[in-house]
Chains A and B, each alone.
Chain A
Amino acid sequence: MKIEIKDLHYTYPAGVEALRGVSLTIDSGEQVAMVGQNGSGKTTLVKHLNGLLQPTSGSVLIGDLDTKKVPVAKLAVHVGYVFQNPDEQLFCRTIHEEVAFGPRNLGFDASKIESLVADALNLVELSSRKETNPYDLSPTWRKMVALASIISMDTSIVILDEPTTGQDAVNVARIAHVVAELRKRGKTVITITHDIDFCAENFERVIALSQGKILLDGPAGSVLGQGEILAQTYVDPPQLTRLGKRLGLKKTVRNQEEFLSALKS
């Protein structure tokens, strides 16, 4: 589903103006990373995508649904949102029940729920621990349960709020694998992240926010190449990108392959 945001402004009840005119279109099936300093408005922006926040002015369209008119529980059919802290969403006694909670809310029939749950657990490599209590897992794995509990809802848009914080390399790779799989299935994935390497390696499009406005928006290669502008929102381009620049490579490189091929040519 296409996401269309038009001149979105949002002011928190306490008076903080978090978004000051964001306009943005995300096509179906795009993989987008949002970067920017703390307080730049990333979370506020994505909370508008499933109606958790309502625009102070401007509009947000998911396909042809206006988030102002459709309740959150209905938007949940289209937009899945994995919160940053898994402990704020997990409550069931077993992982299986937890992952089945979302699809059950959406009113799928039993056999579809089963297959969705099995698939989601398989994707995050938790199939063998179906009957475990989520709170018996380490925080890293609880995060994977939270991820699975949204994937199982089979929404066409998946939002991940800082999926890689506190995760080791193996787990980051696992999350990257999930993102790649979602891409293959034609899902739109929007990720908020401070992990710039994760962003560079897994996302085609990068949006940098600063003080409630879009600072940069474009293909990862071009956005991450603009170190000076990114510095305004306290984002450092990946080490390899910076190294490539120092070496005077003509092309902006994002990962090892690009770096090596640019070096050889």
Chain B
Amino acid sequence: MRERLSFYVKRESFLHNLNPLTKLVLALGLTLIGFLSPWYWTPLAIIFFIIAPLSFVGKVQRDFLNAAFRLILPATGFLFIMQALFQPVGKTELFSIWFLHVTRESLAYAFENATRIFAMVSSFTIFLLTTHPSELMSDLTHRGLPSQFAYVIISTIQIIPQMQAKAQTIIAAQRSRGLDTESSLFKRAGALVPLVSPLVFGSLVEVEERAIAIEARGFTSRHTKTSLREIPDSSFDKALRWILLLLVVAIIAVKIWLS
């Protein structure tokens, strides 16, 4: 079984070659701009004119569209419907279902939130698709991030695909023992315990083993650590980060100005 350690897709592209911090700042910056902007169309503009083209620049358009349509769109769509139905704001009622009233305001509110979240998740998706987690972390620790913190982040990024692979094996093992995971919903619900417990137990055991393994390699040593790989940080990277920072500051200023 092939185990993918992260969402990272290995390609040779301009986006891949950017400094990891730049890409992180980019994802954070786009998210902040999307959330802080006073104009409702900003998140949409970010999605269509920045993130979508970036996915082509990074040669990960297929993976990105896959994630966008199969994961982000359904999730934000759900959010949109829920908020449109349950948000008790506004008076201009458009229509109502039973006790739920959909107003122009609640619709606008839901739309705004859904597009913001779409922009946030998709910008981080691009970031994760083009940045190897260990590259990001070695760059950040080099810049002074405590390595404990780096470890927490990197293990979080890695853990989901790892757990997926593990869950697959556990499902296979329990099905071999006659566990019915395919038929009725009731049976499926009952099948959860035998699937979840080995996953949780196994992960806890792994945490301990990992801790020992990294400590054996001097994780908490106070000496300055050297890095095997130099991660390039060009002047373009620096400029891009400053531009994004300025944009975020500008959008905050506009928001204050308009309010």
Contact = CB atoms under 8 A, between A and B. Distances in A.
Interface of A: 12, 14, 16, 47, 50, 52, 71-73, 76-77, 79-81, 83, 85, 87-91, 101-102, 105-106, 135, 149-150, 153
A137 to B, nearest CB: 13
B50 to A, nearest CB: 32
A52 B172 contact: yes
A106 B178 CA distance: 6
5 contacts: A88-B169, A89-B170, A89-B173, A105-B178, A149-B177
A115 to B, nearest CB: 18
B175 interface: yes
B152 interface: no
Interface of B: 1-2, 166, 169-170, 172-183, 193-194, 197-198, 201-202, 205
Contacts of A135: 201
A77 B170 contact: no
Given A12-B2, A83-B169, A88-B166, A52 B198 contact: no
A73 B166 contact: no
Nearest to B4: A14
Contact of A81 (B166, B176, B202, B205): B176
B167 to A, nearest CB: 10
Given A88-B169, A88-B202, A83 B176 contact: yes
Contacts of A16: 2
Contacts of A80: 176-177
B174 A89 contact: yes
A52 B178 CA distance: 12
A76 B178 contact: yes
B247 to A, nearest CB: 40
Nearest to B206: A87
Contacts of B205: 87
A102 B177 CA distance: 5
Q: Would you list the 5 A-B pairs with minimal beta carbon distance, nearest first?
A: A105-B178, A91-B197, A76-B178, A89-B173, A81-B176
B173 A73 contact: no
A85 B179 CA distance: 18
B176 A91 contact: no
Contacts of B197: 91
Contact of A71 (B1, B173, B177, B182): B182
A71 B187 CA distance: 15
B5 to A, nearest CB: 14
Contacts of B174: 89
Given A83-B169, A101-B194, A73 B180 contact: yes
Nearest to B170: A88
Nearest to A152: B177
A174 to B, nearest CB: 22
A87 B177 contact: no
A146 to B, nearest CB: 9
A12 B180 CA distance: 24
Contacts of B177: 76, 80, 89, 101-102, 105, 149-150, 153
For B2, B172, B197, the residue with the greatest tally of chain A CB atoms inside 10 Å of its CB is: B172
Contacts of A87: 198, 201-202, 205
Given A77-B178, A88-B198, A91-B201, 13 more contacts: A47-B172, A50-B176, A72-B182, A73-B180, A79-B176, A83-B172, A83-B176, A87-B202, A88-B202, A91-B193, A91-B197, A101-B194, A150-B177
A89 B198 contact: yes
A88 B173 contact: yes
Nearest to B195: A91
A91 B198 contact: yes
B48 to A, nearest CB: 32
Contacts of B178: 73, 76-77, 102, 105-106, 153
Contacts of B198: 87-91
A90 B174 CA distance: 9
Contacts of A101: 177, 194
Contacts of A102: 177-178
B161 to A, nearest CB: 13
Given A47-B172, A52-B175, A83-B173, A73 B201 contact: no
Nearest to A13: B2
A16 B178 CA distance: 29
